[in-house]
């Protein structure tokens, strides 16, 4: 019994002795929990960087002295081995098994000198951190504090989070006072700035340029600085206003120079736009208005005389803007404004009346064409019964011409079949079986022929195709049908009007007829034979006069190249254009002022592609765009066209209104 008691006592004593020797490890464990709150003991190596930092911190002097009386860097390899065994024996003591994971990281290292080097670095960082704490007791600028903060976050990676957070919190507590001090120091810098326009930019950007200081400064100091900057801005603007007014005093106001004066004032307004609510800036504008008001007031008669020479609303609006903008309401200016406005009203009334007249005329024309079409349709119906043969319309002939131009080679047989069906549906059968010859003929039982002729087009390297209908020894009623049809829906290419045939002598119409200009239409009478032709205008070389669609209003299509307007040297004509066209295979939208690029396809490379251009007689091309006044330098017809030398892939039209001065 004594033996067992003695055994138990020895074991108990041995256990207590071991527990006492492991106390320092348990204390170290408590330190780890307190100063490394982010550590995970279930998976300590999950964050390898944190794991290494804890491991090497535990053997730095700050922590290692809890389990040893000397620094780890002074340990020999044998001493490290004994310490490792001791840690192993203490593994069952609370927390020691978790410390073992971290310390074994160090103890099992094959390069003890490297471990000691890292420990020394941690101790050096801790010493440097202590010096920073001492430095922070003095008053540092915000920039210095931010620099210290950055260094702590980037250069002290071996120290504990608790150590770093403590000093970072201290820095944060000092930022507001430092920012306030820095901002107060800049007050003298602001008040000392010269009174120049450059200073205004500096004042406007002051907060942005000192954004870091504003981020931490107190609201009180920021409000004081805001007031100081505003006062300085007012001082600068007052000084600049004196200079600007003196400059305006020297400005000469002349009718011929008014555009330049207005442009200078617009630049002035643009310059001070951000400050236009300040009284000093308003005083600049007020002085300009007073001076311009005086000038316009004494020049009102001359300006009114100038207005009488203008015949378009656009011109008068521009004149009114030039002289009456930025002026005060005084009797002479009010009278001048009333005069210009009344002239604009008269012109607008005239234009409305003309537009109404144009609509009425167009309605009459449409109704007349409708009646004529009905008459033509009835005549065609009667003649079909009379001659037991179909008489193709001019549109049929155009459609046959178009389908014939689609036949390019023998590989596209569907195009050929479509072409044949279209003609045979009119009651005309193919003569021969070769669709790819230059002439393709179809004939009916009376010997009347529909045929196409293919010609080389050298300019576009394409085939120009004509569609034709031929009646030998044509009777008068058939000739009358086509004369009536041609002149009812088409106009001569050299005329701006449709001129319906009123009957009478049968004779071939001289020249060609057009709608937009893409196709020429013609009637020939040779030896009693009738031939009606529709011909491609692929290269747009033929003369196509612009159609007149209203009083002083022309329609300019991609194929238009002339007008009916004859000018004498010295004549002045005003042109204003609107509307839009599409250019090229991609249908690029284009207005009268044209588009940039594509100048290799221009008629005149000096101007925008697709813009409206003109010339007089054999003179040079000039730019028209949306508005232009031209003084004729020679006698000749006015030519207007679109600045594109490849007309076949364009569509749409411009409307051009003209007036003479």
Residue 262 lies in a domain: no
Q: Quick check: 451 pLDDT over 50? A: yes
Report pLDDT for 507. 66
Same domain, 60 and 142: yes
Q: Quick check: 275 pLDDT over 70? A: yes
The residue ranking higher by pLDDT, 351 or 202, is 202
Same domain, 472 and 576: no
Same domain, 460 and 571: no
Residue 654, domain CATH: 2.60.120.430
The answer to whether the CB of 168 falls within 8 A of the CB of 152 is yes
The answer to whether the CB of 202 falls within 8 A of the CB of 168 is no
Report pLDDT for 170. 86
Beta bridge partners of 129: none
The residue ranking higher by pLDDT, 106 or 484, is 484
Q: Taking all residues of the chain, what is their mean pLDDT, rounded to a whole number? A: 83
Residue 161 lies in a domain: yes
Q: Quick check: 136 pLDDT over 70? A: yes
Same domain, 151 and 111: yes
The residue ranking higher by pLDDT, 83 or 180, is 180
Report pLDDT for 526. 84
The residue ranking higher by pLDDT, 375 or 40, is 375
Same domain, 39 and 130: yes
Residue 454 lies in a domain: yes
- The rounded percent of the chain whose pLDDT value lies above 70 is 83
Query: Within 10 A of 371 (CB to CB), how many other CB atoms are there?
Result: 11
Q: Quick check: 10 pLDDT over 50? A: no
Query: Within 10 A of 592 (CB to CB), how many other CB atoms are there?
Result: 26
SS3 244: helix
Same domain, 505 and 602: no
- Closest by CA to 277, choosing from 234, 332, 313, 306, is 234
Most confident of 131-135, 221-225, 485-489: 221-225
Rounded to 5 degrees, φ, ψ at 36 are: -125, 65
Least reliable range by pLDDT among 186-195, 197-206, 386-395, 436-445: 436-445
The residue ranking higher by pLDDT, 601 or 114, is 601
Write the pLDDT tens digit of every residue in 232-255: 999 999 999 999 999 888 888 888
- Closest by CA to 616, choosing from 559, 568, 553, is 568
Residue 66 lies in a domain: yes
The answer to whether the CB of 560 falls within 8 A of the CB of 641 is yes
Residue 448 lies in a domain: yes
Same domain, 575 and 607: yes
Same domain, 532 and 552: no
Residue with tokens 């609370």: 94
Report, as an integer, the average pLDDT of 438-456. 89
Q: Quick check: 439 pLDDT over 70? A: yes
Report pLDDT for 1. 42
Report pLDDT for 15. 35
Distance CA 110, CA 204 (A): 63
Residue 150 lies in a domain: yes
Torsion of CA 379, 382, 384, 388, to 10 degrees: -150
Report, as an integer, the average pLDDT of 89-103. 62
Q: Quick check: 9 pLDDT over 50? A: no
Give the number of residues written for the chain.
661
Report pLDDT for 593. 92
Report pLDDT for 427. 93
Same domain, 520 and 408: yes
The residue ranking higher by pLDDT, 563 or 464, is 563
Residue 479 lies in a domain: yes
Same domain, 171 and 64: yes
Same domain, 560 and 435: no
Q: Quick check: 104 pLDDT over 70? A: no
Write the pLDDT tens digit of every residue in 455-503: 765 545 556 788 999 999 999 999 999 999 998 888 888 888 888 777 7
Distance CA 35, CA 39 (A): 9
Count structural domains, the chain: 3
The answer to whether the CB of 149 falls within 8 A of the CB of 171 is yes
Report, as an integer, the average pLDDT of 304-328. 88
Same domain, 484 and 613: no
Q: Quick check: 588 pLDDT over 90? A: no
Which of 163, 185, 207 terminates a domain? The answer is 185
The residue ranking higher by pLDDT, 573 or 505, is 573
The answer to whether the CB of 475 falls within 8 A of the CB of 486 is no
Which of 482, 505, 536 terminates a domain? The answer is 536
Distance CA 203, CA 212 (A): 16
The residue ranking higher by pLDDT, 340 or 415, is 340
Report pLDDT for 115. 75
Q: Quick check: 163 pLDDT over 70? A: yes
Helix (H) / strand (E) element for 334: namely: helix 331-387
Residue 377 lies in a domain: no
Write the pLDDT tens digit of every residue in 604-647: 989 999 999 999 999 999 999 998 889 999 999 999 999 988 87
In the chain, % helix, strand, coil (3-state, to 5) comes to 55, 15, 30
Residue-number span of the structural domain to which 134 is assigned: 21-185
Write the pLDDT tens digit of every residue in 300-313: 999 999 888 887 78
Report pLDDT for 303. 92
- The rounded percent of the chain whose pLDDT value lies above 90 is 38
Least reliable range by pLDDT among 24-33, 346-355, 424-433: 24-33
Which of 498, 517, 536 terminates a domain? The answer is 536
The residue ranking higher by pLDDT, 125 or 299, is 299
Report pLDDT for 4. 36
Residue 427, domain CATH: 3.30.1690
């Amino acid at each position: 019994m004594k033996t067992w008691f003695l055994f138990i006592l020895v074991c108990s004593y041995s256990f207590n002795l071991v527990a006492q020797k492991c106390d320092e490890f348990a204390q170290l464990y408590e330190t780890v929990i307190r100063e490394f709150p982010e550590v995970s003991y279930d998976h300590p190596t999950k964050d390898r960087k944190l794991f290494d930092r804890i491991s090497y911190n535990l053997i730095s002097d700050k922590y290692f002295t809890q389990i040893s009386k000397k620094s780890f860097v002074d340990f020999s390899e044998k001493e490290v081995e004994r310490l490792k065994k001791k840690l192993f024996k203490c593994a069952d003591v609370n927390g020691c098994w978790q410390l073992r994971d971290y310390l074994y990281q160090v103890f099992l290292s094959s390069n003890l000198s490297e471990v000691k080097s890292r420990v020394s670095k941690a101790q050096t960082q801790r010493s440097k951190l202590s010096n920073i704490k001492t430095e922070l007791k003095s008053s540092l600028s915000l920039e210095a504090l931010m620099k210290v903060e950055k260094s702590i976050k980037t250069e002290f990676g071996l120290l504990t989070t608790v150590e770093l957070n403590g000093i970072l919190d201290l820095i944060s507590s000092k930022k507001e006072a430092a920012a306030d001090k820095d901002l107060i120091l800049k007050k003298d810098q602001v008040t000392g700035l010269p009174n120049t326009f450059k200073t205004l930019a500096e004042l406007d950007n002051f907060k942005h340029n000192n954004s870091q200081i504003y981020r931490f400064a107190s609201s009180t100091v920021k409000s004081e600085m805001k007031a100081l900057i505003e006062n300085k801005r007012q001082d600068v603007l007052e000084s600049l206003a004196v200079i600007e007014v003196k400059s305006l005093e020297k400005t000469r106001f002349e009718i011929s120079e008014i555009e330049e004066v207005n442009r200078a004032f617009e630049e002035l307004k643009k310059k001070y736009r951000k400050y236009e609510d300040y009284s000093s800036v308003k005083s600049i504008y007020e002085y300009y208005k007073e001076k311009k008001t005086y000038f316009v007031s004494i020049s009102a008669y001359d300006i009114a005389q100038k207005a009488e020479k203008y015949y378009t609303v656009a011109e008068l609006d521009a004149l009114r803007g030039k002289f009456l903008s930025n002026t005060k309401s005084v009797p002479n200016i009010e009278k001048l404004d009333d005069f210009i406005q009344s002239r604009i009203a008269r012109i607008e009334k005239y234009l409305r009346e003309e537009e109404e007249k144009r609509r009425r005329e167009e309605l009459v024309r449409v109704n007349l064409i409708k009646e004529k079409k009905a008459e033509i349709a009835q005549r065609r119906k009667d003649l079909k019964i009379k001659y037991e043969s179909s008489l193709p319309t001019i549109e049929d002939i155009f459609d046959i011409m178009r389908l014939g131009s689609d036949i390019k080679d023998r590989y596209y047989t569907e195009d050929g079949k479509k072409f044949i069906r279209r003609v045979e549906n009119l009651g005309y059968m193919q003569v021969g079986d070769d669709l790819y010859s230059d002439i393709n003929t179809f004939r009916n039982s009376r010997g009347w022929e529909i045929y196409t002729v293919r010609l080389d087009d050298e300019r576009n390297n394409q085939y120009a195709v004509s569609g034709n209908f031929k009646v030998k020894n044509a009777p008068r009623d058939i000739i009358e049908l086509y004369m009536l049809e041609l002149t009812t829906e088409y106009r001569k290419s050299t005329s701006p009007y449709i001129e319906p045939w009123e009957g009478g002598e049968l004779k071939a119409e001289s020249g060609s007829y057009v709608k937009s200009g893409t196709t020429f239409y013609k009637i020939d009478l040779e030896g009693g034979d009738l031939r009606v032709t529709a011909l491609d205008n692929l290269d747009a070389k033929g003369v196509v006069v612009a159609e007149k669609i209203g009083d002083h209003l022309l329609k300019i299509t991609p194929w238009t190249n002339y007008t009916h307007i004859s000018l004498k040297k010295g004549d002045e004509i005003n042109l204003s254009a609107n509307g839009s066209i599409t250019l090229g295979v991609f249908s690029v939208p284009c207005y009268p002022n044209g588009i940039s690029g594509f100048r290799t396809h221009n008629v005149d490379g000096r101007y925008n592609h697709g813009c409206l251009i003109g010339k007089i007689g054999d003179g040079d091309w000039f730019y028209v765009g949306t508005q232009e006044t031209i003084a004729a330098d020679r006698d000749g017809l006015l030519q207007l066209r679109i600045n594109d030398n490849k007309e076949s892939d364009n569509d749409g039209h411009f409307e051009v209104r003209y007036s003479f001065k």
